Homo-oligomer: A and B are copies of this chain.
Amino acid sequence: MTEPATQLAPNTLRLKRMGIDSYQEPVLYMRRDCHVCQSEGFEAQSRVELALNGTRVVATLNVVDEAFLDESEAGVSEAAWRLLRAKEGDAVMLRHPPPLESLGHVRAKVYGRRLTDAAFDAVIHDVAAGRYSDLQLAAFVTACAGDRLDLEETIALTRAMVNAGERMRWSEGRVMDKHSVGGLPGNRTTMLIVPIIAACGLRMPKTSSRAITSPAGTADTMETLAPVELDVPQIRKVVEATGGCIVWGGAVRLSPADDVLIRVERPLDLDSQGQLVASVLSKKAAAGATHVLIDMPIGPTAKVRSAQAASLLSKQLTQVGEALGLRVRVAHTDGSAPVGRGIGPSLEARDVLAVLRHEAGAPADLAHRAIQLAGDLLEFGEAAIKGQGAALAAAALDDGRAWRKFQEICEAQGGMREPPRAEHTLPIVAPRSGSVISIDNRRLARVAKLAGAPKTPCAGIDLHVQHGEFVERGQPLFTLHAASPGALAYAAEYARSQPDTIHVVEDA
């Protein structure tokens, strides 16, 4: 039995973990008739500040009528539970949060005004502290979408995002980093580039993201091979020992506002150049990088769809980087088709291992892209003279140094392991004989996600054909991998409803 409410301090309730996953927004559940609701005038959708042992979290209130809660209890969603780092039954203080003054700046931006550095600092500080509701975040993201941030504003936003989190510091000298703009399934070059660069003597502490809208992020793929949730001292130790690392950036609070904004950017799926630049560069600056190479695949179904868009985005990345003291180079690459064969964490890890180990059938396109980008990085970091970076990178891959370095990094991160394999597979075959004239990255990504990627690491797609290839009717175009027959059937149903995802046209 819980103690009566009268034995608790005013505005205090006992915490209860509700086991409700409301995605990332912290939600609070209170009874309509509890003394705090009554005295504070809280109602459904009120923003409420919860304070526990010095941690403050602002949550959105859902009012509960029925039997879930005792009068003296405050229930919290999983996101709130994690943020509070609470124990069941802890006494939590509830009150109105301080007024969110920075919302005035969001309104100004909505009305089309320019924001100052101080305004971005105020907004991003509150965002990182979790003071914005999802609706307020959506308003901010929408108001900054399209081309509504100019260069100065993008610089201010990026700097504010760096300042709102931790910043890693490295000893003197170059710290190399790279980022792929995305939209290209299977583009796991990072896991090849880091060991190549480290094997060639440059430092490359790489923090990667988990998938946001894609079937796998580099962190998801790397996690099938080694632990990726390292803290800052652990990362430092790995990099000091091996020259590189491939870890999940979300485990360290580098640009935490970015992690918050992503939770509304994902469902809204709005393109915003300014926010993209701020997101990428704030993470790199916070990670302590000095030299950043941006891999920007261009293609009709990639994130960047035209040379013109690429050129605008590259210019902004370089300028904002410069303002933040980062040297930024952009490599425009082919974004017309997926890279490698696998789409999904385990299947992509398998491709990476095949390249590192020189296995028969290792995807040549993945190896080629990694060598080109690693070559650019080696030249950028002055570890190779101009024009010879790619050859140096290829040599490190060919003679096994990259593979040894990769194993070294995995061991330093906590131990290397084998990626899991799917128990259920199903080939999707060509509906006719002919040539593959296009491959739709977005729809392929959707099929892989319906099969369970990235939550289920073994799930995804194994691609069997390439752009331009001739296929016979009934020949497998790709194989679905899933952990359950239900997920397999579900992905198959969608794949069959979209027969042109890999578009085969009869030859004339």
Partner of A142, one of B38, B142, B449, B455: B142
Q: Would A111 and B146 count as touching, CB distance under 8 A?
A: yes
Chain B nearest CB: distance from A299 CB in Å? Answer: 20
Q: How far is the CB of A504 from chain B (nearest CB, A)?
A: 24
Residue A90 at the B interface, CB < 8 A? no
A275 to B176, CA, bound (A): 49
Q: Which residues in chain A, 143-196, are within 8 Å of chain B measured between CB atoms? A: 143, 145-148
Give 13 new A-B contacts, CB below 8 A, not counting A21-B62, A23-B44, A23-B62.
Answer: A18-B68, A20-B64, A20-B65, A38-B486, A39-B487, A68-B68, A110-B145, A110-B146, A111-B147, A111-B271, A138-B138, A139-B268, A142-B142
Q: How far is the CB of A277 from chain B (nearest CB, A)?
A: 17
Contact for A134 among B40, B63, B78, B134, CB less than 8 A: B134
How far apart sit A23 and B66, CA to CA, in the bound complex (Å)? 16
**Contact flag A268-B136 (CB < 8 Å), given A110-B146, A143-B142:** yes
| Contact partners of A62 in chain B: CB under 8 A | 20-23, 27, 77
Q: A120 → chain B, closest Cβ, in Å?
A: 17
Counting CB contacts under 8 A, is A470 at the interface? no
A selection of 21 A-B contacts at a CB cut-off of 8 Å is A20-B29, A20-B62, A20-B63, A20-B64, A21-B64, A22-B45, A23-B62, A38-B484, A40-B490, A41-B487, A41-B490, A43-B455, A62-B77, A107-B270, A110-B142, A110-B146, A111-B145, A112-B148, A134-B134, A135-B268, A136-B268
A38 with B110: CB separation less than 8 A: no
Question: Lowest 3 CB-CB distances: which A-B pairs, in order?
Answer: A39-B486, A19-B66, A138-B138
Binary interface profile of A, 464-481, with partner B (CB < 8 Å = 1, else 0)? Answer: 000000000000000000
Q: Is the CB of A41 within 8 A of B142?
A: no
When distances are taken between beta carbons in the complex, the residues of chain B under 8 Å from A39 are 484, 486-487, 489-490
Complex: A111 Cα to B146 Cα, angstroms: 5
Task: Report the Cα distance A68→B489, complex, angstroms.
Answer: 29
Specify which of B22, B40, B138 is in contact with A139 (CB 8 Å cutoff). Answer: B138
A452 at the interface (CB under 8 A from B): yes
Nearest-neighbour CB distance to chain B for A163, whole angstroms, equals: 25
**Which residues, 44 to 84 on A, are CB-close (under 8 Å) to B?**
44-45, 62-68, 77-78
Most buried by B among A44, A139, A148, A489: A139
A267 at the binding interface (Cβ < 8 Å): yes
> Hey, what's the 0/1 contact readout for A315-356 against B, CB within 8 Å counting as 1?
000000000000000000000000000000000000000000
Chain A contributes a number of interface residues (CB within 8 A of B) equal to 59
Chain B CB within 8 A of A133 CB: yes
Residue A450 CB within 8 A of the other chain: yes
State the CA gap A450–B271 with chains docked (Å).
40
The answer on a CB contact under 8 Å between A264 and B19 is: no
Chain B residues lying within 8 Å of A23, measured Cβ to Cβ, are: 44-45, 62
What residues on B are CB-neighbors of A138 within 8 Å? 134-135, 138-139, 142
- Find residues 415-449 in chain A having any chain B CB closer than 8 Å to their own CB: 449
Residues of B within 8 A of A35 (CB): 486
Most buried by B among A67, A133, A143: A143
Name the residue on B nearest A482 (C-beta): B41
Bound-state Cα–Cα, A22 to B59, Å = 13
Chain B residues, CB < 8 A from A455: 43
CB contact under 8 A between A449 and B41, given known A62-B20, A111-B145, A138-B139: yes
Shortest beta-carbon distance, A380 to chain B, in Å?
33
Contact partners of A484 in chain B: CB under 8 A? 38-39
Complex alpha-carbon distance, A23 and B143, angstroms: 25
A270 and B139 form a contact (CB under 8 A): yes
A64 to B19 alpha-carbon distance, docked (Å)? 6
A 10-34 contacts with B by CB, 8 A: 18-23, 27, 29, 32
Complex contacts, A64 vs chain B, CB 8 Å? 19-21
Task: With CB as the reference atom, state the residue of chain B lying closest to A267.
Answer: B135
Residue of B nearest to A264 (CB): B135
Residue in A41, A45, A450 whose Cβ sees the most chain B Cβ within 10 Å? A41
A23 to B27, CA, bound (A): 12
Q: Is the CB of B134 within 8 A of A41?
A: no
Residues of chain B with a CB closer than 8 A to A21's CB = 32, 44, 62-65
Are A450 and B41 in touch, CB under 8 angstroms?
A: yes
Nearest residue, chain B, Cβ from A40: B490
How far is A169 from B44 in the complex, measured between Cα atoms in Å?
A: 36
